[in-house]
Amino acid sequence: MNETGRIEAFSDGVFAIAITLLILELKVPAVDSETLGIALLRQWPSYLAFLASFFTIGVMWINHHRLFTLIGAADDALIAINLLLLLGITWVPFPTALLAEHLHARVAALVYSTTFFAMSLVFQLLWSYAKRTHGIIRNDKREQAIHITRQYIWGPVFYLIAILLALVSGTAVLIWSALLAIYFALPPALFHKQR
């Protein structure tokens, strides 16, 4: 088992780059000064896609940090699963740009929502592996791990709903994604069951 400092530092770098790349898809309209305001307003799908993805990546970073405050060691499998998660993070700017450009195209909404569904499965895999493997979760953090599990267990279900929404509306997918970012930003202790 290895310590996790290098995994966290590398992951933080990937999150930071991916979240920064999102802004590159917001373009300055090539219009004259008189029509600039209208052109900026017409780009509202890009703004909404940027915000939804920014907050989703941001909350994934928060939750990645939460997990690694409980994870005290890592083995090769955990490192590989984490890399798979980072692969998804680096992919996010593409479906964000795709949906912003083709908000009313069902395919774009499906690519966007399926991306986050797949990432929720990888997050579940990472967390499940950490919980099941002896020596990875710090002993003094077992109760916190239970709270996180209660919150995260719904991720794939919620993102499956996003896929169903994609069949109806790209705008609905973006709004749903932003709402999910709020849900996953909540402190896991809120999901503590009273005995």
Does residue 131 contact residue 149 with C-beta atoms inside 8 Å?
A: yes
Facing residues of 137 across strands?
Answer: 71
**Cα(69)–Cα(64) distance, rounded to whole angstroms?**
9
- What is the pLDDT at residue 195? 43
Could you read off the pLDDT of 183-194 as tens digits, one per residue? 998 888 776 654
Could you read off the pLDDT of 98-126 as tens digits, one per residue? 999 999 999 999 999 999 999 999 999 99
**Cα(123)–Cα(11) distance, rounded to whole angstroms?**
13
Facing residues of 71 across strands?
Answer: 137
- What is the pLDDT at residue 168? 95
Structure tokens at 105: 């195209």
Write out the residue range of the structural domain in which residue 42 sits.
Answer: 5-191
Structure tokens at 49: 């896609």
Q: For the chain, how many structural domains are there in total?
A: 1
Could you tell me the pLDDT band of residue 152, with boundaries at 50, 70 and 90?
confident
Whole-prediction pTM value?
0.86
% of the chain residues with pLDDT over 90: 61
As to burial, measured by CB atoms within 10 angstroms (0-12 exposed, 13-18 middle, 19+ buried), residue 80 is exposed
pLDDT beyond 90 at 139:
no
Does residue 163 contact residue 117 with C-beta atoms inside 8 Å?
A: yes
Dihedral over Cα of 78, 66, 190, 175: its sign: negative
